[in-house]
A and B are shown apart, each in its own frame.
Chain A
Amino acid sequence: MKTLSKGFVIVASRNSNFYTYAVNLMESIKDFYPEALITLVTEERFIDERADEADQIIFCDNHYRAKLWGMSQSPYDITMYVDADMDCEHEDIAKVWDELGDRDMVFHELTPEREKFYAIREFRYDGGVEKYTLCGGVCLYRSGNPLVREFMEDWFELFNKQHNNMWMPEGFEKQQWDRDLKHFDQTTLWWLTEKEEKYKDLKIGIFRDDIRWNYFTQYGYEGLKSIEGKPPILRHYSGSLKKDVLIV
């Protein structure tokens, strides 16, 4: 039986700070998991010696959501995508592959208690109220499955259309769409997982004790903790970093 290749994908584009975050993330993963395979998706102009930490480098352009393109380019059979502005803090990172089980994709969950830290969670659709439930900050996925790979490609392409006013499905309210929804890849993710017939058989789940896999620093403000009482594995600094201000 073929051994499945497993690796991390990290994307840093558009802003050189993300490259700095990505280098830190790669090194922090390897601090705890030296054998980890990592693919860095980044712009050629950012590359310096520190990129040697990556096992593979894929060049991307400065797209606003190069992340989605990068996810579709994974060279592995099983991929753990991690947002660049995260830091690995625990050796359980090496056990990430066990989280997939028989599922195709595994995410961090947007729950009501975490709601206040997200830009938007609820939105109006088809006369009712719908919710984003999946957070794309981390995603463990079976990239060797052609349907999952197609999903990732569609996620990127559909988001492009959405962002460029070329796609807005019926059922959404135009005003809210323009103001809150069209800029978010979450919206595309919701559509693909909830409404797209082609993907209805994909097995999508949530990490066990998922807070450990995407611990937003703001969770600490409310004292949100792991249900098993364990420390975070990946801490997410989204929201606290000044991404557009040069680090040095």
Chain B
Amino acid sequence: MARTWLDNAFWETPKKEILNAISEEQVDNKQIRQVHKLNKLNEDGSPNELFNEVIEFLGEEQIEASTKKRLEKKQAEAELEKQKKLEQERSKKLEKLFEYKLETFEIPEIKESKNRLLKSKLRRSKSIPEVNLYAMMIVKESVEDENIK
């Protein structure tokens, strides 16, 4: 059986000088698949016959389409990976923030405070500076109460 080429061949460079393609052929009742990285020209500057064979077999349009498809897939994968990393960072930040809040709630003035609103604001804080802000408000209130007494 003659050599055929899988239709997922793609350009490795925008200048279309390197082609990545997979050949398939039957040798002694075995189907052989091989990945090729093909330069447009041989080292001596002559045309690469295998390169031209792929273009003739699949057509430039097909190669163009699978290059675009592959690029979109890679971009989507990279975006997913980026999102995953962001989520991971967000989760770790949240864990640290939770520990920081617990520590803040152990400050005697805050521990004993009956101001539900401020304590709730502190608990719902999204960052350490915000936690500090509400913690200061609670402590300030406690000091003022003490002064009145």
Contacts and interface: CB of A to CB of B under 8 A. Distances in A.
Interface of A: 20-21, 23-24, 27-28, 31, 48-50, 87, 217-223, 235, 237, 240-242, 247-248
A202 B88 CA distance: 39
Chain B contact surface mostly: helix
Contacts of A48: 111
Given A220-B90, A247-B103, A27 B123 contact: yes
A27 B120 CA distance: 8
16 contacts: A20-B102, A20-B105, A20-B106, A27-B119, A31-B123, A87-B123, A217-B94, A220-B91, A221-B88, A223-B83, A223-B84, A237-B98, A240-B98, A241-B98, A247-B103, A248-B103
A222 B84 contact: yes
Of all A-B residue pairs in the complex, the 9 with the closest CB atoms, nearest first, are: A220-B91, A240-B95, A248-B106, A31-B120, A223-B87, A221-B88, A223-B84, A220-B87, A217-B91
A52 to B, nearest CB: 9
Nearest to A224: B87
Interface string B104-121: 011000011000100110
Contact of A241 (B83, B87, B99, B106): B99
Contacts of A24: 101-102, 105, 123
B123 A221 contact: no
Contacts of B74: none
Given A21-B102, A219-B91, A235-B94, 20 more contacts: A20-B105, A23-B105, A24-B105, A24-B123, A27-B120, A31-B124, A49-B112, A50-B111, A87-B123, A217-B95, A217-B98, A220-B90, A220-B91, A222-B87, A223-B83, A237-B95, A240-B95, A242-B99, A247-B106, A248-B103
